[in-house]
Amino acid sequence: MLNKIVSASLALLLGWSGTAFAQSEVDALRYTRLGVSGSARIQGIGGAQSALGADISSMFVNPAGLGMFRRSEITISPGFSTANANSRIANPDTYFGPSVSDNRNSFGIPQAGIVFADRRGDNDGSDWRGTNIGLSITRLNNFNSQTAYNGNTQDWTIVDYFAEQANNRATMSNGRTLIKDDLDAEFNNYSTLEGMAYGTYLIDVYEDDDGEYAAPVDRALDVSFGEEVLRKGSQNQFDIGVGTSYRDKIYLGASVGIVSTNYSQVRMYRESDADPSTTFNNMQLRDEFTTRGAGINLKLGAIFRPVDALRIGASVQTPTSYSFDETYATSLNANFSDIGNQNAVQAPGQFSYGLTTPFRATGGIAYFLNKLGFISADVEYVNYAGARFRERDSDFGGSGNYFGNINTRIRETYQSAVNIRVGAEARYEVFRFRAGYAHGGDPYKGAELDGSTSTISLGTGVRLQNYFVDVAYTSTSMQSAYSPYSFNTGVSPQINTDNRLNNVVFTVGFNF
């Protein structure tokens, strides 16, 4: 059972479920796992900035870096992203088809901010060198992507899954299994996929010596299937931070992060049959939902500079408390040669819930090679198993047990992980040359598929007296597995996908 849970949880997406609820352990990971973010300078060194300081991106990792600013600064960073996905069927003995590639491009402003520096003069006798205040916005995640796959099967299809879901909700009376009355009650008020399948004549209820059972109406021998999934949105954090310096040796900082999330997903699953001996022609299942949310967290950090060449940094971020509002809609269309088109639509619904993501702890070191450049490295700890859903309000009653089950799956599916980021910058007169690497630890417990991420980065820039221009390129790769539906018994299709997200970001900054 645990292996089945883990396998299903490797999805980037949710598989089709028997109810309209969309939340799962996958959502918890989506809002907890973060990529390489920040200005072009920071992205160019793989995000290794915990001990570096004096960059506006410090606020969302280690706000102590604000204490190193000697002048006020304003920056803006437009960027361009391309998400590539190559999907293929992983169990060709039952489901077979070609490899399918897809991509989606997006443009945005992943970073912008301003720092107001109040640096005391060098002739001031105070040990505290001033207080700096910063405001910044950082894109933590880019959700824009598009995936697709198609294939054929002569065995199990999603219609069999509908029938299994209907049989799972069977009731007993006088020792006999009853299903039909329960499905009949959903006519014109559909709330489940099996109810919609029954209403569109994809499945029917039959009877044997043990009572009633659900089964496909007209089972095809060779079915073509495919799905397109379109995702849009982003996760952004607005930080308000303050930093100070004690004798230019110890830097302290704190920041409050306000996170906003906008995520939407549209899935279109299709099956068709060209067998003239069956009346079934094709079916189409469409599911869409949009989630908007906001959260808040607090970060505390410190940087110690024992000598000019060495900096040691550490920071902690409290759990982020989110509040989400979700709207959703599902429709099912089936076409038959004898009865034509049959449609079933769930009434659009709304669901509100909360999510608390785990705390984060980061440590880092930066070593400066005189004026030639520097080397920087970070280690970050995150316990992905610590995320928890909580109920707020919904169109459904009694969902507390649902979230209890989801939180149990989070504990059983995920584990703590260590993320590593390293980078370097070389300097030649006013020019800067950068490179970095980031490894995101595998959040999955006991999974066969490696869920880690790998990011390589390159960057360059020009630093002048009152302004600077930087550019960075990052490329992140990871693997994922997805099952559009999962049988309790029987072989479910598994789609393996190689994902790659390429980013180009420019930063323009001015000192004043």
Report yes or no: 281 and 270 within 8 Å, Cβ to Cβ. no
Regarding whether 21 and 170 lie in a shared domain, the answer is: no
Residue 461: band (very low, low, confident or very high) from pLDDT cuts 50, 70, 90:
very high
For residue 70, which phi and psi values (nearest 5 degrees)?
-105, -20
pLDDT digits (tens, 9 = 90+) for 193-237: 999 999 999 999 999 888 899 999 976 678 999 999 999 999 999
Q: Count the Cβ atoms, other than its own, within 10 Å of residue 20.
A: 22
Amino acid at 372: L
CA distance 268 to 395: 24
CA distance 482 to 409: 17
Regarding whether 176 and 152 lie in a shared domain, the answer is: no
Regarding whether 363 and 251 lie in a shared domain, the answer is: yes
- Percent residues over pLDDT 90 in the chain: 65
Higher pLDDT: 175 or 250? It is 250
Of the given ranges (5-9, 92-96, 343-347, 475-479), which has the lowest mean pLDDT? 5-9
CA distance 452 to 24: 20
pLDDT given for residue 1 in this prediction: 31
Report yes or no: 108 and 78 within 8 Å, Cβ to Cβ. yes
Q: Answer yes or no: is pLDDT of 77 > 70.
A: yes
Regarding whether 130 and 252 lie in a shared domain, the answer is: yes
Residue 483: band (very low, low, confident or very high) from pLDDT cuts 50, 70, 90:
confident
pLDDT given for residue 378 in this prediction: 98
- Domain of residue 203, residue span: 158-218
Report yes or no: 90 and 496 within 8 Å, Cβ to Cβ. yes
pLDDT digits (tens, 9 = 90+) for 270-300: 999 878 888 899 999 999 999 999 999 999 9
Q: Which of 65, 263, 231 minimizes the C-alpha distance to 148?
A: 231
Give the distance from CA 362 to its chain's centroid.
21
Higher pLDDT: 254 or 447? It is 254
Higher pLDDT: 94 or 433? It is 433
Regarding whether 193 and 54 lie in a shared domain, the answer is: no
- Percent residues over pLDDT 70 in the chain: 93
Bridge partners, residue 286, by sequence: 268, 331
Q: Answer yes or no: is pLDDT of 10 > 50.
A: no
Regarding whether 307 and 173 lie in a shared domain, the answer is: no
pLDDT given for residue 480 in this prediction: 84
Higher pLDDT: 350 or 14? It is 350
What number is the average pLDDT over the span 25-49?
Answer: 93
Number of domains in the chain: 2
Query: Which of 218, 243, 264 is at the close of a domain?
Result: 218
pLDDT given for residue 177 in this prediction: 85
Regarding whether 464 and 393 lie in a shared domain, the answer is: yes
Q: Answer yes or no: is pLDDT of 3 > 70.
A: no
Q: Answer yes or no: is pLDDT of 19 > 60.
A: no
CATH number where 320 lies: 2.40.160.60
Q: Answer yes or no: is pLDDT of 395 > 60.
A: no
Regarding whether 383 and 299 lie in a shared domain, the answer is: yes
pLDDT digits (tens, 9 = 90+) for 361-394: 999 999 999 889 999 999 999 999 999 999 876 4
Of the given ranges (120-124, 243-247, 263-267, 419-423), which has the lowest mean pLDDT? 120-124
Q: What is the mean pLDDT of the chain?
A: 89
Query: Which of 218, 238, 256 is at the close of a domain?
Result: 218
Regarding whether 168 and 146 lie in a shared domain, the answer is: no
Regarding whether 172 and 153 lie in a shared domain, the answer is: no
pLDDT digits (tens, 9 = 90+) for 296-317: 999 999 999 999 999 999 999 9
Of the given ranges (90-94, 199-203, 355-359), which has the lowest mean pLDDT? 90-94
Query: Which of 188, 218, 248 is at the close of a domain?
Result: 218
What number is the average pLDDT over the span 500-507?
Answer: 96
pLDDT given for residue 315 in this prediction: 98
Amino acid at 196: M
What number is the average pLDDT over the span 41-65?
Answer: 94
What number is the average pLDDT over the span 460-489?
Answer: 91
CA distance 116 to 73: 7
Regarding whether 331 and 186 lie in a shared domain, the answer is: no
Regarding whether 362 and 213 lie in a shared domain, the answer is: no
